Amino acid sequence: MVQQRTNPLRKYIRNRKLPHFFCPGCGCGQILNYFLKAVDDLQLDFKKIITIGGVGCTARIPIYLNTDSLHGVHGRTLAWATGIKLYRPDLKVVIFAGDGDLVSIGGNHFLHASRRNLDVTVILVNNFNFAMTGGQVAPTTPFNSVTMTTPYGSKENTIDVCKLAVSAGATYVSRWSTAKPIQTVKSIKKALQHKGFSLVEILSQCPTNFGRYALRTGDPEKVLEWIKNRSISKTKAEKLNEHELKDKFILGEFIDKKRPVFQGTTLFKEEDN
């Protein structure tokens, strides 16, 4: 006899919102699951979690969640997060950002939120392109890739978002991929418990756009395979030289440290006289 059972994470999803709008094989559904698994494992008070998305496929993850959420403006997620976190430090703020949202249009906010050590968690879904708009080149698109706006291949260098975050002052930074669910969930848990600016970059397959244009395949498995083949652990990477690391995605934790969190640009102090 088949027993009908509800997914234990279903309780975190808004009523009447499923099915979601992600393409078949998209990584966003997996990442939504990883996040909810992390929240559930940690038994966090879901009422106190505020989720934020900008625009893009990734940015739509919050619209499925039973949380207070902000959505619909491109690249301003960290500005939103700051207003909420400073005024209500008791709330946990989680941002779901696409690579375009976070480091193209929102790049400046990203530097400054890292620098300030704003106490929020950013889950970056790096699908190597602007997916929702139809597969244009992004700051994360590998050099020479063909996209909808690089018909002859991209001649722009890519951003290593994790490196950028570390050098700007973020205090928890890691990179995983949808091919590594266990490590990703574990890392999201660490990020959620971390006091300070935490970033979990998740390399994710976009079969519909990045897959078809840059990799010439719309098969999610093959796109995932491409990510896996290019991924290398941080420990292994430490033994390789720059040339050997070319075109590789380094997975692992890049920083985990404590530093005072942002509460405002200037904090009241009694004048001594």
Ligand X SMILES: Cc1ncc(C[n+]2csc(CCOP(=O)(O)OP(=O)(O)O)c2C)c(N)n1
3-state secondary structure of 256: strand
Buried b / exposed e along 250-271 (16+ C-beta atoms within 10 A): bbbbbbeeeeebbeeeeeeeee
Q: Which does 83 bind (CB under 5 to 8 A by kind): Mg ion, ligand X, other proteins, none?
A: other proteins
Binding mask 60-89 for ligand X (x = CB under 6 A): --------------x---------------
Between the alpha carbon of residue 187 and those of residues 30, 197, 202, 220, 241, the distances in Å are 15, 14, 10, 24, 26
5 vs 2, 9, 32, 93, CA distance in Å? 9, 11, 20, 31
Among 34, 35, 80, 213, binds other proteins (CB under 8 A): 80
**CB neighbour class for 28 (10 Å; exposed up to 12, middle 13-18, buried from 19):** buried
In terms of phi and psi (left: phi > 0; alpha: psi -120 to 50; beta: otherwise), the region of 31 is alpha
Look at the block and give the residue holding tokens 């397959």.
Answer: 205
CA atoms of 244 and 265, how far apart (whole Å): 43
Interface with other proteins in residues 33-52 (CB under 8 A): 47-48, 50
Determine if 154 is a binding residue for Mg ion (CB under 5 A).
no
Interface with ligand X by CB under 6 A: which range of 125-133, 186-194, 239-247, 262-270?
125-133
Report how far residue 272's alpha carbon sits from residue 13's, in angstroms, rounded to the nearest whole number.
53
Fill in the per-residue mask, 92 to 121: x = in contact with ligand X (CB under 6 A), - = not in contact: ------xxxx--------------------
The single residue among 99, 114, 161, 254 that binds Mg ion, judged by CB under 5 A, is 99
- 10 Å CB burial of residue 46 (0-12, 13-18, 19+) is middle
Nearer to other proteins, 28 or 224 (CB): 28
**Interaction mask 228-267, other proteins, x per CB under 8 A:** -----------------------------------xxxxx
Residue whose beta carbon is closest to ligand X: 98
Q: Which amino acid is at 50?
A: I
Least distance (Å) between residue 26 CB and ligand X: 9
Choose which of 69, 82, 114, 127 interacts with Mg ion (CB under 5 A). Answer: 127
Contact 208, 131 (CB under 8 A): yes
* Count of residues touching ligand X (by CB under 6 A): 17
Per CB under 8 A, does 273 bind other proteins?
Answer: no
8 Å CB contact between 60 and 52:
no
**Residue 133 in contact with ligand X, rule: CB under 6 A:** yes
Does the protein bind other proteins through residue 272 (CB under 8 A)?
no
Contact residue for other proteins among 30, 67, 154, 171 (CB under 8 A): 67
Q: Contact with ligand X (CB under 6 A): which of 70, 94, 95, 125?
A: 125
* Contact set with ligand X (CB under 6 A): 55-58, 74, 98-101, 125, 127, 129-133, 138
* Contact set with other proteins (CB under 8 A): 14, 16-17, 47-48, 50, 62-63, 65-73, 76, 79-84, 86-88, 90-91, 108-109, 111-112, 263-268, 270
